[in-house]
């Protein structure tokens, strides 16, 4: 980083190295909250915030970072967005890092406004997720803003959903010996960009979203994009396992693995007898789920030796 502003990707690398690579996803649907707690809350949005707070308190020492999916908050309207802002603030005030999962992508003038919205002020996050469809000039204002303020971003490359094959896997017509797929063209542009911003662990301030639901290419993706720190969705409820995710890490480093539903709803699988547990029991179950996930990711032998 030539600006002298500390790079958030370095901080994330260090936190993940110390606490493990689990990213706790706060995609908090009302259905994930113990019903008694939701009934007690003055509003659904406040119920969501109370639940998030309990989860964050119970998992912060085990989590590399948190990821907050804004859609679940927007669905509750303006009060939901207030709860989104409160959740981000709570996480950051506790000293943890937070990724705003907003997947923005728009023309440069608009990107300037978005970067102001999500890197400053009431909705401030440490990282954002971005969508590359509109091209590199739609990402540049984020990069410039992030550099000035020590923020970071993860750009969609190879996502974890079933439909990712529709466009991301299209093969390109090009003279290269092995024609690339679209996701590789995106990754190559990001890697090129990352060269100019490599932090002290070799990663650029702008990483990539790579789902762990495609183990067949995972090792090749990890090798090709060694300057990109990965945000890895698809673990747990979406079908990815620890072995799949580990292929996208470098001996446990170089990325964070997100799980949302499987952590937030861990309490529903707890058969300890409580019919309607509170947030504290849900948080305890979430903590156990994060520990199990971290242990599972750590049990995988370093890539190349399996």
What minimum distance in Å lies between the beta carbon of 177 and its own copies? 13
Among 260, 254, 215, which residue's Cα sits nearest to residue 233?
260
207 sits in the region (left: phi over 0; alpha: psi -120 to 50; else beta) called beta
What minimum distance in Å lies between the beta carbon of 219 and its own copies? 23
Classified as helix, coil or strand, 202 is: coil
> Is 103 an annotated catalytic residue?
yes
Classified as helix, coil or strand, 294 is: helix
Classified as helix, coil or strand, 267 is: helix
Which CB sits closer to its own copies, 74 or 251?
A: 74
DSSP state of 132: -
What minimum distance in Å lies between the beta carbon of 176 and its own copies? 11
Query: Contact, 127 vs 88, CB < 8 A?
Result: no
Which CB sits closer to its own copies, 13 or 119?
A: 119
What minimum distance in Å lies between the beta carbon of 29 and its own copies? 7
What minimum distance in Å lies between the beta carbon of 85 and its own copies? 6
CA distance 165 to 10: 32
Catalytic residue among 103, 151, 200, 250: 103
240 sits in the region (left: phi over 0; alpha: psi -120 to 50; else beta) called beta
Query: Contact, 135 vs 106, CB < 8 A?
Result: no
Which CB sits closer to its own copies, 123 or 259?
A: 123
Q: End-to-end CA distance of the chain, in Å? A: 35
Which CB sits closer to its own copies, 231 or 300?
A: 231
Residues of the shown chain interacting with its own copies in the complex, contacts defined by CB under 8 A? 27, 29, 69, 71-72, 74-78, 80-82, 85, 103-111, 113-114, 116-118, 121-123, 131-138, 156, 159-168, 170-174, 179, 182, 185-186, 189, 233, 238
Which CB sits closer to its own copies, 70 or 91?
A: 70
What minimum distance in Å lies between the beta carbon of 45 and its own copies? 12
Among 181, 168, 162, which residue's Cα sits nearest to residue 240?
162
Q: 45 burial class (0-12, 13-18, 19+ CB within 10 angstroms)?
A: buried
Which CB sits closer to its own copies, 69 or 227?
A: 69
Q: Could you list the active site residues?
A: 103
């Amino acid at each position: 980083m030539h600006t002298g502003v500390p790079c958030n990707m370095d901080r994330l690398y260090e936190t993940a190295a110390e606490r493990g690579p689990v990213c706790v996803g706060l995609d908090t649907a009302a259905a994930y909250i113990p019903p008694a707690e939701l009934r007690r809350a003055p509003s659904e949005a406040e119920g969501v915030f109370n639940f998030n707070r309990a989860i964050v308190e119970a998992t912060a020492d085990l989590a590399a970072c948190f990821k907050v999916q804004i859609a679940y908050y927007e669905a509750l309207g303006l009060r939901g967005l207030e709860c989104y802002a409160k959740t981000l603030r709570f996480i950051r005030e506790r000293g943890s890092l937070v990724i705003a999962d907003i997947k923005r992508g728009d023309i440069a003038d608009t990107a300037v406004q978005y970067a102001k919205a999500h890197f400053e002020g009431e909705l401030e996050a440490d990282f954002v997720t971005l969508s590359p469809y509109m091209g590199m000039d739609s990402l540049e204002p984020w990069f410039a803003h992030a550099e000035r303020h020590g923020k970071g971003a993860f750009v969609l490359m190879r996502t974890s959903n079933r439909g990712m094959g529709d466009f991301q896997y299209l093969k390109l017509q090009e003279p290269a010996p092995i024609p690339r797929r679209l996701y590789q063209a995106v990754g190559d542009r990001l890697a090129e960009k990352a060269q100019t911003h490599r932090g002290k662990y070799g990663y650029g301030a702008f990483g990539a979203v790579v789902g762990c639901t495609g183990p067949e290419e995972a090792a090749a993706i990890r090798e090709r994009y060694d300057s990109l720190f990965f945000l890895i969705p698809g673990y747990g409820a979406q079908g990815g396992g620890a072995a799949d995710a580990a292929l996208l890490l470098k001996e446990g480093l170089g990325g964070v693995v997100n799980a949302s539903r499987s952590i937030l709803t861990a309490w529903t699988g707890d058969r300890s007898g409580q019919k309607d547990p509170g947030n504290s029991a849900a948080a305890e179950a979430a903590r156990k789920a994060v520990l199990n996930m971290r242990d599972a990711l750590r049990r995988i032998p370093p890539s190349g030796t399996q």
